[in-house]
Amino acid sequence: MTDDEADRFLAAIQHDHSWLARLWRERSEAPYPGRAEALLAAARALGRPLPPSEYTLPEHTIEWLLERAARLRGRKVPLRGAAGHKGRVGDGVERLLVGAKVPGMAADHPAAEIKSVPVAGDGVVERVKLGVLSPRSNPLAKCDRILFVFVEQRGDDFFVVGYHAHEFTYDVWTTMWRDGWIVETAAGSPERPARGLYLIPRWFRAQRIWPPTC
C-alpha cells in the first residue's frame, strides 16, 4: 500500500467503528478503546499521520457554521457605522455568525466565505460582491465554498430570512463568467476606486436557491 493509498484508507475508515474494531482486534487482545484511539493505532501501524480533519476544531467545520446559520433565521442584523455604508449589513451578518467582523484578506470562516444577499420577497434585489480585483490576489481563490445569508430590509432594519451553502470549482467559475452570471464592475469609493467581481441576482433563481423551493 502506497502512502497515498494509506491516507485515503484512513480517511475512509475514520468514522467507521466496525472497520476500526476489526483492525484493532487484529493487533490487540485488549477491548476496543473507541474510535479515536483505534484510528491512531491504525495510523501508526501504517506509518502515516492521522487525517487532517482529526485536528479540525468543531467550530471550524461547515456543520457548525450551518447549524449557527439555521439558528439566525428571523434575527435582526446588528448594524454599525453610517447608513450609507453598504458593507455594514455584511459586517453585521459576520458578527452574528462568527462573533466579529473578519478583517483584511483573511477568510471569513475556515469552512466557507460568508456573503450577505439582500432580498425582497421572492427576489434577490442586488448583485453580490464576490471580491475586489487585485494584482496580488484572486477574489475567487477563497470562494470554493460560500455560505449565502439572505437578509431582508424592514423599515430601517435588516433581518436574516434564510441561508444556503454552495460549492464552486475553478471550472464552474469559468463557466459562470462565460455565461454572464458574474460581472466585473466598479467597487470601492471615489476616493479609493477599484474593480470587483459580482454575482448577478438572476443566478439565485436559475439555481433554485432563492426563493427557496421547500
What phi-psi label fits residue 74: left (phi over 0), alpha (psi between -120 and 50 degrees) or beta?
left
pLDDT per residue over 133-185, tens digit each? 888 878 898 899 999 999 999 999 999 999 999 999 999 999 999 999 999 99
* DSSP letter assigned to residue 16: -
Q: Which CATH superfamily is domain 58-206 in?
A: DNA mismatch repair MutH/Restriction endonuclease, type II (3.40.600.10)
Instruction: Provide the residue type at 152 as one letter.
Output: E
Share of the chain above pLDDT 90, in %: 69
Name the residue among 145, 157, 168, 177 with its Cα closest to residue 69.
145
Estimate to the nearest angstrom the gap between the alpha carbon of 11 and the chain centroid.
21
Beta bridge partners of 115: 148
Which amino acid, one-letter code, is at 63? Answer: E
Report the C-alpha gap between 170 and 191 in whole angstroms. Answer: 32
- Residues 58-106: tens digit of each pLDDT: 788 899 999 999 999 999 999 886 666 667 899 999 999 987 655 555 6
Give the pLDDT confidence score for residue 85 in this predicted structure.
Answer: 61
What residue spans in the chain does CATH classification 3.40.600.10 cover? 58-206
Measured CA to CA in angstroms, residue 130 lies from 11, 127, 135 at distances of 32, 9, 16
Matching residue, cell 460581472: 183
CB 139 within 8 A of CB 133: yes
- What is d(CA 65, CA 58) in angstroms, rounded to the nearest whole number? 9
Task: Please give the model's pTM, rounded to 2 decimal places.
Answer: 0.75
- Summarised one tens digit per residue, pLDDT across range 8-33 is 999 999 989 999 999 999 999 999 99
